[in-house]
Amino acid sequence: MSTVELTKDNFDEIVSGSDLVLIDFWAEWCGPCKQFGPVFERSSETHGDLVFAKVNTEKEPELAAAFDIRSIPTLMIVRQNIAVFAQPGALPEAALEDVIGQARALDMDEVRASVAEAQAPQAQQGQQGQAGTGEQA
State how far the Cα of 67 lies from the Cα of 8, in Å rounded to an integer: 12
Catalytic, out of 20, 23, 30, 91: 30
Catalytic, out of 33, 51, 75, 76: 33
3-state secondary structure of 92: coil
b/e code 60-97 from CB counts within 10 Å (16+ = b): beebbeebebeebbbbbbbbeeeebbeeeebbeeeebb
Q: Is 30 considered catalytic here?
A: yes
Where is 93: in which H helix or E strand? helix 93-105
Q: Which of 87, 80, 110 is CA-nearest to residue 36?
A: 87
Q: Is 33 considered catalytic here?
A: yes
- Active site amino acids: 30, 33
